[in-house]
Structure 1
Amino acid sequence: MTEALHIVGGGMAGSEAAWQAAQAGVPVVLHEMRPHVGTFAHQTGNFAEMVCSNSFRSDDDEQNAVGLLHWEMRAAGGLIMEMADQHALPAGGALAVDRDAFAQAVTERLLAHPLITTHAGEINALPESGHWIFATGPLTSDALAQAIRVETGAEALAFFDAIAPIVHYESIDLDTAWLQSRYDKGETEEEQKAYLNCPMTKPQYEAFIDALLAADKTEFHEGETAGYFDGCLPIEVMAERGRETLRHGPMKPVGLTNAHDPLNKPYAVVQLRRDNALGTLYNIVGFQTKMKYGAQTEVFRMIPGLQDASFARLGGIHRNTFINSPTLLDDQMRLRSRPNLRFAGQITGVEGYVESASMGLVAGRLAAAEIQGRTLSAPPRVTAMGALIAHITGDAEAKTFQPMNVNFGLFTPIDDIRGGRRGRKDRYKAYTDRAKEAFTAWLG
């Protein structure tokens, strides 16, 4: 009988790893401590629960690196992408999902698989034998994090991650807010109106920034230092970098026309994106926050259209732990000191739902091949998955290693045989064409 693969953590990476290994014919035991042991951010015991945004970001597989990653995961029969597509919500050119329906669907598919069994409870030590994948994510339990520190001889790295608030749709003032995607992006009318927009005049914006900077915020415990990931900065941190920072970031008014007052250009715009299929919940895009709960309701109700907002969930901040993968992992994603242990997902130093799931996809396939006595290399580094693996297992500078989203800067450059410089659009298309060809060959 084929030896079982044990996977610790039922988030994006663990769920995808379990699916890939089971689909390859390897029995899987999926260990998940929730709901018996909870975390700050999770609300349920479902697998693949989304705790921050409900967006998988751009779905453009010709001009965007994360869109290419979507393509590779679909090509590999990824469960996460299949369920995301089934539970997609209108979001312009992005892929956003109904988070509850998505997680429930992933959970049902995993529980129904004949080769996957689940084990409820916390794993708090590194096993001496067997094949294991640790995909415990940014909220790895204290006991397991300590076991990893003891084994690796290094302090686990950490930064602080923030969560955006969610608003009940019925409490939004639609006489002030209007539906529109930036530049009316999207093929259908529903996609072109995927976002709710709340306009601000300059005085309203200035008052909002003043309140934001003065609000009570969560303080770190003594001895803690915060290294924020730039892709998920709290809005207060962005505002501290300059009063205009938010207006050129999540509150930029570019590409939007106020349907209630088309002749007056808003000075700033707050966007909300639908968070569930019913359209009853909307999250405030880019508004991750470390403000205390009372301050959040007070400050966010200063936004025109949200003056009577009722919040289904307020924002928050939590520790996000990851290992120094360039020094600890080999190119098979195995711990160099304990090759029977693999790591996958955000704990390896990738950032984002799709990046995490893709690392689970690769780890599950590599582990399954090893158990079955087959030889399988990691995806070629010219692919999106291969570029991420190359980055975390060797390309990144260990001394300054920080979580990274997939981006074309991680890809091997393309020489232009014409001798001139490619335009960005042509260059990105060349990256994606090359990656698709190489990834298809790797699957074969």
Structure 2
Amino acid sequence: MTPVHVIGGGLAGSEAAWALARHGVPVVLHEMRPVRTTDAHQTALLGELVCSNSFRSDDAAGNAVGLLHEELRRAGSLVLAQADHHRVPAGAALAVDRDGFAAGITAALEAEPLVTLVREEVAEPDAAWDSVIIASGPLTSDSLAQAIGRRTGEPSLAFFDAIAPIIHRDTIDFDTAWFQSRWDKGSGSDYINCPMSRDEYHAFIDALLAGDKVSFREWEGTPYFEGCLPIEVMAERGRETLTFGPMKPIGLTNPRGPKPYAVVQLRQDNALGTLWNMVGFQTKLRHAEQVRIFRTIPGLQNAEFARLGGLHRNTFINSPRVLDGALRLKAEPRLRFAGQITGVEGYVESAAIGLLAGRFAAAERLGGALQPPPPTTALGALLAHVTGGADAATFQPMNCNFGLFPPIEGRFRGKDRKAALSTRALAAIDSWLDRRPAA
């Protein structure tokens, strides 16, 4: 059987390759690292997480992302299987040991006989490849981005995304910091908390606003993704903005002293518990400034950083305009797109579109056609959004959320409505997974 070619070994490409192999279709998976690296990656592992180690809420009944987790588990997702296997404490969220997770993804695909891993940059999809999934991600190389732009008839769209710093646990001062999850969720001690008084917070804001930042003049006009704003950008919107965002003190009780005015939280980043990342502290501060300013946070005065924060430019296409309902490029149907390059935002969303692209390509290779998942499911709602549900004129990256789902009949409020949407979705996804592709 002729293989399907998958370009990109991130979450979407890995998931697409796995889905194809699980359906008996051979795959050639092209990954350019380590032949060519990016500004954000640090290893050559498949499925490397370049930003947070959190897959966000794992609550399938009350959160759309948690529902997407459960749908992916039921669909045999490699990403969710490895995330569950390499899980670290994070309250109600699903967070992973990033190194163990990527190593697990890599080992699984390298051990799969139907997957051939090729380490090379693909600047242009070979004309002889009759089925291709482009899952090159938000950090698509310039040459491939240009090849995509020629096919879509427009320059690549883009937005800025940011990375938060990671700190060595043994350099945190626990005479000041304490363990507690917000509202004591999870084990109740899944986060490290660093308190700030009002004066300490405002001094921190002053330093943040005055700090030396990376400038991207050649990319002026490129927007930030609202779900991952640098802390300096949030602070510029108002001095108290961070106290209602990543530094909010609600749900936390300081056992060391008075109620804090603001709190910096750190979440476990590896299985050993030796590395902790600064939650919501994406930044474009220069590295020396990050060390200087973040060490003014009580409890972090002696912090040693395993990784400092950064900013990178992400690429995505105008999917509602250029893709059909099976993620094929309308102008060249042999090409499918998957992952963040389609305009979904987030690890799980990227994997979800990868899984769907792999299933669509597998059904096609096997001589059938796969109906898309119902729009009442998280998978279907996300797919519908990027392939026609959004306005092409204003299309921007989107996380999975219940606003993408069709309304549900009956009178429901708050949590009851979300639970009803989830119940409906899981029944629909089970029915969809039981179907056979039409010949």
Q: Where does residue 426 of structure 2 map in the other structure? A: 436
SS of the aligned residue for 1:326 comes to: helix
Q: Where does residue 301 of structure 1 map in the other structure? A: 295
SS of the aligned residue for 2:301 comes to: coil
Q: Where does residue 127 of structure 1 map in the other structure? A: 126
The 2-side partners of 1:89 and 1:241 are apart by 33
SS of the aligned residue for 2:50 comes to: coil
Q: Call closer, same or farther: CA 1:433–1:155 in 2, change over 3 Å.
A: same
Matched, 1:220 2:216: yes
SS of the aligned residue for 1:368 comes to: helix
User: How far does residue 170 in structure 1 lie from its aligned partner after superposition?
Assistant: 0.8
Q: Which amino acid aligns with 2:424?
A: R
User: How far does residue 224 in structure 1 lie from its aligned partner after superposition?
Assistant: 3.0
SS of the aligned residue for 2:290 comes to: helix
Matched, 1:380 2:374: yes
The 2-side partners of 1:26 and 1:330 are apart by 22
Query: Any idea what the Cα deviations from partners look like across 1:188-223, whole Å, max 9, x if unmatched?
Result: xxx210000000000000000000000011111335
Report if aligned partners of 1:201, 1:266 keep a CA contact under 8 Å in 2.
Answer: yes
Q: Where does residue 352 of structure 2 map in the other structure? A: 358
The 2-side partners of 1:287 and 1:217 are apart by 14
Aligned length: 433
Structure 2 unaligned blocks of 5 or more: 435-439
The 1-side partners of 2:117 and 2:416 are apart by 46
User: How far does residue 425 in structure 1 lie from its aligned partner after superposition?
Assistant: 1.0
Matched, 1:104 2:99: no
2:254 paired residue among 250, 253, 258: 258
Q: Which amino acid aligns with 1:211?
A: A
SS of the aligned residue for 1:176 comes to: coil
Q: Where does residue 292 of structure 1 map in the other structure? A: 286
User: How far does residue 375 in structure 1 lie from its aligned partner after superposition?
Assistant: 1.7
What CA RMSD, in Å, does the superposition of the two structures yield over aligned residues?
0.8
User: How far does residue 155 in structure 1 lie from its aligned partner after superposition?
Assistant: 1.4
Q: Where does residue 70 of structure 1 map in the other structure? A: 69
The 1-side partners of 2:286 and 2:214 are apart by 6
Q: Where does residue 174 of structure 2 map in the other structure? A: 174
Q: Which amino acid aligns with 1:287?
A: F
Q: Where does residue 199 of structure 1 map in the other structure? A: 195
Query: Any idea what the Cα deviations from partners look like across 1:35-55, whole Å, max 9, x if unmatched?
Result: 110001000000000000000
Q: Where does residue 391 of structure 1 map in the other structure? A: 385
User: How far does residue 153 in structure 1 lie from its aligned partner after superposition?
Assistant: 0.9
SS of the aligned residue for 1:340 comes to: strand
Q: Where does residue 316 of structure 1 map in the other structure? A: 310
The 1-side partners of 2:250 and 2:404 are apart by 29
The 2-side partners of 1:26 and 1:440 are apart by 23
Report if aligned partners of 1:138, 1:322 keep a CA contact under 8 Å in 2.
Answer: yes
Q: Where does residue 88 of structure 1 map in the other structure? A: 87
Structure 1 unaligned blocks of 5 or more: none
Q: Give the TM-score normalised by the residue count of structure 2.
A: 0.98
Query: Any idea what the Cα deviations from partners look like across 1:14-47, whole Å, max 9, x if unmatched?
Result: 0011001100000011000001100010000000
Q: Which amino acid aligns with 2:7?
A: V
The 2-side partners of 1:109 and 1:65 are apart by 28
Q: Where does residue 58 of structure 1 map in the other structure? A: 57
SS of the aligned residue for 1:159 comes to: strand
Q: Which amino acid aligns with 2:155?
A: E
Q: Where does residue 116 of structure 1 map in the other structure? A: 115
Query: Any idea what the Cα deviations from partners look like across 1:366-407, whole Å, max 9, x if unmatched?
Result: 100000001211111110010011001101011111000000
Report % sequence identity.
63
SS of the aligned residue for 1:192 comes to: coil
The 2-side partners of 1:3 and 1:385 are apart by 28
SS of the aligned residue for 1:56 comes to: strand
Q: Where does residue 39 of structure 1 map in the other structure? A: 38
SS of the aligned residue for 2:173 comes to: coil
Q: Call closer, same or farther: CA 1:223–1:443 in 2, change over 3 Å.
A: closer
Q: Where does residue 149 of structure 2 map in the other structure? A: 149
The 1-side partners of 2:126 and 2:424 are apart by 40
The 2-side partners of 1:360 and 1:44 are apart by 21
Q: Which amino acid aligns with 1:63?
A: G
Report if aligned partners of 1:126, 1:148 keep a CA contact under 8 Å in 2.
Answer: no
Larger mean Cα displacement after TM superposition, 206-215 or 221-230: 221-230
Q: Where does residue 437 of structure 2 map in the other structure? A: none
The 2-side partners of 1:386 and 1:260 are apart by 48
SS of the aligned residue for 2:314 comes to: strand
The 1-side partners of 2:49 and 2:365 are apart by 31
Query: Any idea what the Cα deviations from partners look like across 1:227-260, whole Å, max 9, x if unmatched?
Result: 0111100000000000010000000000001122
Q: Where does residue 231 of structure 1 map in the other structure? A: 227
Report if aligned partners of 1:55, 1:96 keep a CA contact under 8 Å in 2.
Answer: yes
Matched, 1:269 2:263: yes
